[in-house]
Structure 1
Amino acid sequence: MSLEATMIVLDNSAHSLNGDFPPSRLQAQSDSVFRIFGAKCRAHPENEVGLMVMGGKGSEVLVTLTTDEGKIGSALHGLKPAGESDLATGIQVAQLALKHRQNKNQRQRIVVFVCSPVKDSQASLVKIGKKLKKNNVALDIVSFGTPDIDLSIPSLPSSSSSAAPAPTPETNDTKLAALVEATSSSDNSHFLSVEPGPALLSERVGSSAILRSADAGGDADMGGMGGGGGGAADEYGVDPNLDPELAMALRMSLEEERARQAASSAAASTSAAAQLEPVPEGVSTQITDPTPATEPKGAELTGAVLPTSSETMRQGPPENTAEVDMMSGGAGGDDDEDEDLKRALALSQGLDEGDDVEMGAAGGLDDTVDDEDDDIARAIALSMQDAEAEEKKPSAEGQ
């Protein structure tokens, strides 16, 4: 990752009022400044950017090297186009500003925007380029809005020069390309010519080699690579040579995510296979067939026609009652005796009915039928004895 100090030189001459690069050439340069500033500061936290102009009254430094974007914005806000631009003087002032940088470990770079005709000759520009190369200063030039007009000074015709070849025309692009070529060392300098079109100037600058090298973390020498950009990024978009720790962390994270996805897919396939396995013998029968546990208890007992204790008890009392009636009728039919017999029968029948209900609630079991019959028989016998005693009592009194 390159540690770099960059000086941006703007062309604020009267030509910057032209609107072929919307909204104007000067505003297009301002937008590009913010893009360059962001790319340089992202490339390294200690990178610094300065701003100056080369038009109007003369070359002037607006903002010295700084990491504060607010200062850059304030300087651009009050910028006014006027006068003519002086490319040679602007480059020399920018070089002087970089020479006085506080961090001497920063590499030096100058980014120049040119939107007006260059009056300096190609030879003088080449001389300046060699001086920049000697001082290890990289140079990026963005030429836009200047047609290919021959800017060379015509020479007077002479008889001796009639056979000589015509000199090569000097245009803005040829002069600036020669300047960049003279400055470049290990392809650390770039030249970009932009024509009016649908794309913005800042977009063209951002997609060029000027910022591709900064986004990739700088170049191997002088903070830039000619045309190709910085080191090769891996599949994660990070150059392992520039940030090996980040590349390793991304690689490990991706491998863990792939392992997690593989484990989840394997678990899903295993569960699906388990659902399709055959059911062991007996499991389906236990699930589908009805079991005795689902049937109400005592269903077979209640459904069978068996004599209950109530029927047995009901068969006994009528016979005994008839005998008692016969005996009481033969004895004379006293009202008191009849009432006593009726009370005894009612008592015995009430006891039988209660026992019948309890036995029915117990599910029809007749384990205590014999005991109950004995009790009934004993009650009837006692009532008969009482009746006999009552019969004997009046007869004794009569005697």
Structure 2
Amino acid sequence: MIEIRKIWYYLTRYIDNFLLAGILILMAIGLIVLYSATGGNITRVSNQVINILIALVIMWLVANIPLQQIMRLALPMYMLGLILLISVALFGEINNGARRWLSIGVTRIQPSELMKIALPLMMAWYFDKHEITLRLRDYLGATILLLLPVLLILRQPDLGTALLIAASGFYVLFLAGLSWRIIVGLVTAAAASLPVLWSVMHDYQRQRIMTLLDPSQDPLGAGYHTIQSSIAIGSGGMVGKGWQNGTQTQLDFLPEQSTDFIFAVFSEEFGLIGNTVLLLLYLLVIGRCIAITANASTQFTRLISGSITLTFCTYIFVNMGMVSGILPIVGVPLPLMSYGGTSMVTMLLGFGILMSIHTHPKLVKT
């Protein structure tokens, strides 16, 4: 018994139990909903279980890495991400008119997912190195670090992912003390550039925005996703139709129901009460992440943990917003619930960094 306790202690000493519990509950709910969304497809559910196990192992490994080592990984991860994005541009597979995936033999990877962690990690490392003499030129340097991967992802094209990764980098800029006057200026400039941005958008991207304003203009085409997901959410009512009893799901009216639109499946089957419970679970996880950020002891740990937390919030908001019809369809998975390996690994890698920040001693600069 004593040996078992020792083994358990060494396995969990760098794991935040509260955060892990919230993550596991959300992933368990995701598996339950996935089973219904796929019509009881055991193979697909088994594949997701494998994805989860791999992601949990990676989270555990990262949580056990001392913070000094995580800092040293910032530059190599960022450079690897850039190399992979360039490789996608040159050798990536084309699906539905977009070049986003890179085949590495036994599997395919989406390098843009790596940048969700690599970019804020790199920017946090950069600001930590310039903490003492932080000037405007340092913010400009960080902005260049942000723009390089974002422009490569826009070229794929993948506007949704590019905007979300840009947001993760902006959070680092904001937490590093970027002046409100500069932020207001950037927002004003972005608003002024909207006509130019509209002119360079692809036709399908413009169509998504027009569909958001009026989905009924193309109910069987561009507006189909928004209309069907809205019907699914509304038909769930207060208590839902019950597990595996959602008509929009079981009759295959709902598109991408195991990935981007899994929240619509959940809403139809468990209703408003289920959605409230789900949001509370997400808020508990977010609250724990905020507590870890608030107790971060250095510039680096505060910036990276804050960025990971805010990015997690953004993904939840954007997914639920697009499924509910208040945001354009941008192909963003619901964290910890949507089917997919790369996004699950990336998300838990970020949580592993948060656990390392919480459980390791204060980072000492060298």
TM class, shorter-length: under 0.3
What's the TM-score, normalizing by structure 1? Answer: 0.23
Q: Return the index of the structure with the highest Cα Rg.
A: 1
Higher relative contact order (CA closer than 8 Å, sequence separation 6+): 2
Which structure shows the higher helix fraction?
2
